Amino acid sequence: MGRQLISKIIALTAGFILLLIAYNHNQDRLYLINGEAYGTTWSIKSTEYIGDHHKDNIEKIISRIDYVASNYKEDSEIALINVSNDSYHFISEDLFQILAIAKEVENISEGFYNITLGKVSSNLGFSPNFGKELIHKKDQTFNLNERDKSLEKLSLNWFDLSSIAKGYAVQKVHEYLLQHNLNNHFIDIGGEIIINGKNKEKPWLVGIQNPLSLQNNASIVIEKKDIFLAIATSGEYRNFKADVDGNKISHTINPMSLESIDHNILSVTVAHDISATHADAYATAFNAMGVDLAMKIANKNNIALMLIVQNNNKLDIIYSNKWYDLVI
């Protein structure tokens, strides 16, 4: 056999080995796209390649929802409705879906979920007032008309969709990925999460932060594959302010008292097998309730709920019945 032929065989063999190594590497690889929105970050991990055109479309979805639901944009759909004196408004399909789920959660939570506390939130410094003097009146919230996709405001109170909009955005991105056969993914928008399918042959891992840790140390790790699961966490360990006396002011408002919550729940996590929008809203509702009522309503309505509660210097973790069925 000639030396030239031997060299060709060696080169071809080496090339084949390199291709095999590259193939095996890609088999273990996760594709990642990410960005910034809603004052936070977002990311998607997928076992399938997400092309640039998909990233562009996903960014358009996230931006579209921002211009529907943001309290920080004076020209968003909800901000314009807030400052309007009109009672009736024809609204976008996105806003209708958000408000319909908000109304559902309001009813199930026995009024502890209320998205018309925008003026209260603004007066506490958690959202802008656009130079207006804001007076909240304890009143009815709103009605929706399915037939013509219209909203009836029952007061001049302001909507605040910060407790549901990110969950809705996660849900819409998930639906887009499914429509394009990108079925195995992990979506995270500011801590609102959907896991779907599997991470190759491994499960997706979701860590729930230890609320007493300054680092991102996990108290609980959720490990699932071949499943859809939406996960939302609400807690007071990051998003709070302090008054002049140094007392912590929570961003979560009790709709009954119209005051920031003050209890020993440090973290609320909801896992939902249908919708990230529901998970996001329920997490806020349960955070407003306190331990006993939250567990009562979660068990009554078959909702997977985990509470991390501080008792003196130790953490207690409490689960609803559905959590054991869905998560553990």
What pTM value is reported for the model?
0.85
As separate numbers, helices (DSSP H) first and strands (DSSP E) second, the chain gives: 9, 17
Q: Burial of 15 by CB count in 10 Å (0-12 exposed, 13-18 middle, 19+ buried)? A: exposed
| Mean pLDDT of successive 10-residue stretches along the chain, which has 328 residues | 48 40 50 94 96 97 97 94 94 98 97 91 72 67 94 92 97 98 96 94 86 60 87 71 54 75 86 97 95 97 95 88 90
**CA–CA distances in Å: residue 306 to residues 156, 175, 203, 283, 295:** 35, 26, 20, 10, 9
- DSSP 3-state of 300: helix
What pLDDT was estimated at residue 59? 98
What pLDDT was estimated at residue 249? 61
Q: Burial of 325 by CB count in 10 Å (0-12 exposed, 13-18 middle, 19+ buried)? A: exposed
What pLDDT was estimated at residue 164? 97
Q: Under CATH, which number does the domain 31-50+164-326 receive?
A: 3.10.520.10
Q: What share of the chain is helix, strand, coil (3-state, %, to 5)?
A: 35, 25, 35
- DSSP 3-state of 13: helix
What pLDDT was estimated at residue 137? 74
What pLDDT was estimated at residue 23? 35
What pLDDT was estimated at residue 212? 64
User: How is the chain split into domains, by residue range?
Assistant: 31-50+164-326, 62-153
Q: Are 46 and 184 a contacting pair, CB within 8 Å?
A: yes
What pLDDT was estimated at residue 125? 74
What pLDDT was estimated at residue 247? 55
Q: Which of 32, 6, 3, 12 is nearest to 199 (CA)?
A: 32
What pLDDT was estimated at residue 218? 59
What pLDDT was estimated at residue 131? 53
